Amino acid sequence: MKRELPLFITAITGILIILNFVFPELTGGITETLRDWTIMIASFAILLGILNLIIVNLRKSLEPITHLEDRIFSIIVILSLVLTTIIGLIYGIKSNIQSFVVFKINNDYIFPLIETEFLKRDTNIFTGVIFNSVYTPLNSATFSLLAFFIASAAYRAFRAKNFEALILLLSAAIIMLGRVPIGDYIFSIFGIKISLISDYIISVLNAAAQRAILIAIGIGTIIISLKLLFGVEKSHIGKGD
Amino acid sequence: MEIGYLLYKAVIPFKENPSVLVSFIFLITISIIFWYYINNAKMGKIKEIFIRRIPALNSIDEAVGRSTELGKPILYIPGIMDIDNIQTLASLSLLSYIAQKTALYETELIMPVSRSVVMTVAQEVIKESYLKVGRSDLYRADKIFYLTDDQFGYAAAVDGIISREKPGAIFLVGAFYAESLILAETGFSAGAIQIAGTAMITQLPFFIAACDYVLIGEELFAASAYLSSDIIDKITLKTQDISKAIVMSFVLFIAIFNNLLVSFPNLANLPFFNIINLIIKTFFTNK
Amino acid sequence: MGLVSAIIGLFRKITRRTIFLIVALTLSFSIIFSNVAFIQKINLYILSKSISWTSEKAYNYIESLPEGSVVLLSADYAPSTKVENDPVVQGFLIQAFRKNLKVIAISLWPDGAVLLENNIKAVALKMNKKEDEDYVIGGYVVGGSVAIEKMGINLKTAIPLLKHSNAEFLKNIRTAKDLKLVFCVAAGDSLQSYVKILGARYGVNISGGCTAVMAAEMYPYIMSNQLIGLFAGLKGACDYQILELKDQIDPNNVPESVKNMFAQSIIHLLIVIFIIIANVVYFYERYEIKRKIKK
C-alpha cells in the first residue's frame, strides 16, 4: 500500500492535468484546486528547507570534529538567516512609499541613471540595505564569475582538432564579434557586416539544430511522464521491487 | 440536456484552437504504443532490445571507482529546479543507480540540494538504494542537505564545498541555468571526473567544454532505462524512438508539401492538395 | 625561428590564473574607458546601425497595439541579470506608457518583484502615470508555471493582488485570453512557459526579452511565430533604448546599457584573441611532434 497509493495519486492527478490542457472548460474547477495545493505545498516546503539548514549548520558548528573554518561559516549562515528573517518580517519588501514623494528627477536623465539616484534615497532597511547593498552585489558578483570561467573554458576547449571543431570555433568567434559593436567596427575595414552573418547563424543554422534537440527533449519528457503515469518509473518514491 | 451541454463545452476549445486536437491525438497514440510495448514485455514476448552505447553512462562505474581508489567523496548535484521538473525526476532515477554503486564501494556520497522537497525525495531514494545492496548502515541523512533556493547562493555554496572537500567525481545531472559553468569549472580545477547531463540546451555547451562526459538532452531521459536491468524499463526507449519517427515523418511531409506548393503553385488547384493544405493550415499552423 | 619559439613559450605559460588576471584588468579598464565621449559616440552610432531584427519585430508589434490595450508585464529575473534585463523592462514601460497601454506588472520571482516595483514607479513618476489607473502592480506571483496555467483559466485568481485593485481597465479582463500581449523579461524558463502554455494553448500573443545565454534557445519559437519578437541580452537592451529614445539620446551621455556594451565588446574580443592563441600553441605543438617523428 505504501507504494501503490502514491502511484495511484500520481496517475489520477496527472491524467486530470492532461485533460485540463485539452478540455479546460470541463475540468477547470478541480484542476484549479489541485494547482492551489501545489502552490501551497511548494510554499510550505521552504519551512522544511530552513529547518534542515538550521539543524545541519547547528550540528556543524557544535560538533568538535569540525574545522574552525567550517564552524565559522555555519555560524554566519545561521546568523544571516535569523537576521534577514527578522528584518524582513518587520519591514517587508514593500519599498518606502514616502521616499517617492520627496524624490525629484532631473528631466535630462536617462532611466538607468535615475534608478541609482532613486535607490540612494530608499530608507527602508530591508530593501535599502539588505536587498540593494548586500544581496544584489553578492548575486551579481557570483554571476559575473561566468566572464572569467567562460574565458578559461574557451581557451581550453576551442581547439581546431578536426573539421567539426574548426567550424564550431569559427562560428563561435563570428557570433561573439557579431553581437558587439566592435565586431562591425573591425570588419568594416574589409567591407563586411559581421552582425548580419552572426544573425544568419543564430536564426537559421542555430534555430534548425535547436529545433531538433527541442523536439527530441519534448518527446523524452512525454515518455518520462507516461512512465510516471503508468507506474513504470518508481525511483522517486524509492524503488522497491 | 446535461450531456449535450458537456459535449458543447468539450468541443469549444478545439474550435478556438484546433492544433490542441493534434497534440491530444498524438499523446493518445504514444500512450497506446507505450502500453502495447509494456504489455508485450510483461507477457515475455520481448526479451531484449538493442540500445546504442551512451559513453557518459558507461563511465559512471569508472568515476565511482576512481573516487574510491583516491579515498575521495562523490558529489551529486541534481540541478536547481524543484521536483515538478521532469529533469529533476530523471536525475533522481539516475541517482538511485549511482547511490547503489557508492554503497557497494563504500564511498561517501555528498548531495547538497537547492529545493527542500528534492532533498526529502533524494534522502528516500538514497536510503532505498543503500538498503537494496544491503548497506543501510552506511546511510547518513545529513549528507543530503538543503542549502538555499537562490540560484547563485547555491552556486557559491557548492563551489565552496567542491574546493574544501575536493571530491573525486562530480555528477551534475538535472536542470541547470547560468550556474552550470560556475560549478563545472570549479569542479574541473579541483581535478574531479565530471559527468554532466541536462536538457537545458543553452547550458550544454558549457558542460561539454568543462566536463568529461555529458548526457545530451534526451539521453538524460533515457539514462534510467539504459542502466536498468528490467526489460519493462528498457522498452520505453522503443516508444521514444517510434514517437520521434512519427514526428520526423510529419515534419518531412509538411516541409516537402509546402515546398512543392511554393515551387508549383498550380498544384493547389488539385482537390487532393487542396484538402491537405487546408488540414495543415488548420491543425499545424500557429495563429 | 628563435623569436617564434620564444613567443610560443610565453603563450604556453598562460594558465587559468593568468587568464583570470587579464580578464579582470581588461574589464576594469574598459568599464572606466566606457565613459569617454568618443567611445560612447562610436558605440551609439554602430549600435543604431545594427539593430537586431528580433528586437525590431518586438518593438513594432507593441507600436501597432491600439491605445488602451491591456498588456501583462512579467519581470522574472534576479539582481544578477539586472544589467541585461532592467533596460528592457524600462524600455517596455516607457513605450507602453507613451502608447497609453494599460499595464499589469507581475513577477514570478520574489527578487524580481522588488526590482519591478522600483522600475515601474520611477518610470511612472517621470511619465505622469498613476497606479490603479494606468498600471497595476500584481507583485510576486507564487507558483511559476503553475501560476501561468492558472492565468489561462482565471487571471484574478492567478494574480491575487488584482482583486484588491479598482482599476477601470481590469473590469473587462477575465482570463489571459483578454490580454493583447504578454511581455515577459526572463532570466529563467518562464518565457518558454508563457509560450508553451498561454501561447500554444490559449493563443495569447507572447513577446519579451531574455538574457544573452538563453537567446539561442528562443530562436525556434521566433521563427515559428510562437514568439513575436525578442530583446536578447545586453544587445537587445541597447536596441530597445535606441529604438525608444531615438533622438532624445545625448551622444555624450548615452544610456547605461550602451555604455556597458563597450566592456562587453572588449571582453568578447579578448576571448577571441585567447582562442587564437590557444590554437597557435596547439598547431605549433603538432608541428613540433611531426618534426620530431621525422627526425
Q: Is C74 exposed, middle or buried (0-12, 13-18, 19+ CB in 10 A)?
A: buried
Q: Is C105 exposed, middle or buried (0-12, 13-18, 19+ CB in 10 A)?
A: buried
Between CA C242 and CA C251 the distance in angstroms is 11
CB contact under 8 A, B35 and A230: yes
Shared-domain flag, residues C260 and C198: no
Residues of chain B numbered 21-50 and touching chain A (CB < 8 Å) = 23-24, 27, 30-31, 34-35, 38
Between CA A63 and CA A67 the distance in angstroms is 9
Task: Tell me the per-residue pLDDT of B190-200, one tens digit each, with 9 for 90 and over.
Answer: 999 999 999 98
Q: Is C215 exposed, middle or buried (0-12, 13-18, 19+ CB in 10 A)?
A: buried
**pLDDT (average), residues C276-291:** 91
Domain map (residue ranges) of chain B: 2-47+233-283, 55-227
Pairing assessment for the beta strands B109-113 and C181-186 based on DSSP bridges: unpaired
Outline where DSSP puts E strands in chain C.
Answer: 70-76, 102-107, 135-140, 181-186, 206-210, 230-232
Contact C105, C76 (CB under 8 A): no
Residue in A67, A145, A213, A225 to test binding to B, most B beta-carbons within 10 Å: A145
Domain map (residue ranges) of chain A: 1-91, 93-157
Residue in B236, B246, B251, B254 to test binding to A, most A beta-carbons within 10 Å: B236
Residue among B160, A180, B150 nearest C188 (CA): B150
The DSSP code for A20 is: H
CB contact under 8 A, B152 and C187: no
Pairing assessment for the beta strands C181-186 and C70-76 based on DSSP bridges: parallel
CB contact under 8 A, B116 and A45: yes
Domain that holds residue C267: 251-295
Ramachandran class of A131: left when φ > 0, alpha when ψ lies in -120 to 50, beta otherwise: alpha
Share of chain C above pLDDT 70, in %: 100
At A111 the pLDDT is 40
Indicate the residue of C20, C79, C270 with minimum beta-carbon distance to A136.
C79
Reported pTM: 0.88
B55-227, CATH topology level:
Rossmann fold (3.40.50)
Q: Is B258 on the interface with A (CB under 8 A)?
A: no
> Edge-to-edge, what's the strand order for the sheet holding B193-198?
B144-146, B109-113, B74-79, B169-175, B193-198, B213-216
At A123 the pLDDT is 55
Task: Tell me the per-residue pLDDT of B41-88, one tens digit each, with 9 for 90 and over.
Answer: 888 888 788 888 888 888 999 999 999 999 999 999 999 998 888 899
Between CA A62 and CA A90 the distance in angstroms is 30
- In this predicted structure, the answer to whether residue A158 has a pLDDT above a threshold of 90 is no
At A121 the pLDDT is 46
More confident residue, C151 or B285: C151
CB contact under 8 A, B240 and A18: no
Q: Find the range with the poorest average confidence among A103-107, B149-153, C92-96, C108-112.
A: A103-107
Between CA C167 and CA A69 the distance in angstroms is 55
Task: Tell me the per-residue pLDDT of A43-97, one tens digit each, with 9 for 90 and over.
Answer: 888 888 899 999 989 988 888 777 788 888 899 999 999 988 888 787 765 543 3
Q: Is A37 on the interface with B (CB under 8 A)?
A: no
How far is residue C210 from each of residues B172, B196, C76, C215, measured CA to CA in Å? 24, 25, 9, 7
Shared-domain flag, residues C95 and C133: yes
Task: Tell me the per-residue pLDDT of B8-51, one tens digit each, with 9 for 90 and over.
Answer: 777 777 777 788 888 889 999 999 999 999 998 888 888 788 88
Domains in chain C: how many in total? 2
Task: Tell me the per-residue pLDDT of C168-218, one tens digit each, with 9 for 90 and over.
Answer: 899 889 999 999 999 999 998 899 999 999 998 888 999 999 998 888 889
At B106 the pLDDT is 92
At B51 the pLDDT is 83
The cell 541555468 sits on which residue?
B177
**pLDDT (average), residues B278-287:** 78
Bridge-partner residues for C72, per DSSP? C104, C182
At A95 the pLDDT is 42
Indicate the residue of C146, C214, C224 with minimum beta-carbon distance to B286.
C224
CB contact under 8 A, B17 and C78: no
At A96 the pLDDT is 38
At C75 the pLDDT is 95
Shared-domain flag, residues C181 and C244: yes
C272: which 3 cell numbers?
577571441
Residue B1 banded pLDDT, cuts 50, 70, 90? low
Indicate the residue of A127, A139, A214 with minimum beta-carbon distance to C80.
A139
Residue among B179, C267, B211 nearest A142 (CA): B179
CB contact under 8 A, B17 and C202: yes
- In this predicted structure, the answer to whether residue A110 has a pLDDT above a threshold of 50 is no
At C154 the pLDDT is 87
Between CA A125 and CA A95 the distance in angstroms is 10
CB contact under 8 A, A219 and B6: no
Query: What is the residue type of B223?
Result: A
Task: Tell me the per-residue pLDDT of A174-225, one tens digit each, with 9 for 90 and over.
Answer: 999 998 888 888 898 898 889 899 989 998 999 998 899 889 989 988 998 9
The cell 528490467 sits on which residue?
B230
CB contact under 8 A, C79 and A140: yes
Residue A148 banded pLDDT, cuts 50, 70, 90? very high
Task: Say whether B109 sits in a helix, a strand or coil.
Answer: strand
Task: Tell me the per-residue pLDDT of C223-256, one tens digit each, with 9 for 90 and over.
Answer: 888 999 999 999 999 999 999 888 788 877 788 8
**pLDDT (average), residues A149-156:** 91
Residue in C15, C76, C77, C80 to test binding to B, most B beta-carbons within 10 Å: C80
Chain A residue with minimal CA distance to B127?
A238
Interface A:B, Cβ pairs < 8 A: 175
At B123 the pLDDT is 93
Outline where DSSP puts E strands in C92-168.
Answer: 102-107, 135-140
- Residue B19: its chain C contacts at CB < 8 A? 200
At B287 the pLDDT is 57
Q: Is C203 on the interface with A (CB under 8 A)?
A: no
- Residue A34 makes CB contacts below 8 A (sequence gap 6+) with A13, A16, A17
CB contact under 8 A, A155 and C274: yes
Task: Tell me the per-residue pLDDT of C72-129, one tens digit each, with 9 for 90 and over.
Answer: 999 999 888 888 999 999 999 999 999 999 999 999 988 888 889 889 988 999 889 9
Between CA B1 and CA B141 the distance in angstroms is 58
CB contact under 8 A, A224 and B206: no
How far is residue A180 from each of residues A177, A192, A205, C35, C241, measured CA to CA in Å? 6, 14, 20, 17, 16
Q: Side-chain half-sphere of C176: how many Cα atoms within 13 Å?
A: 28
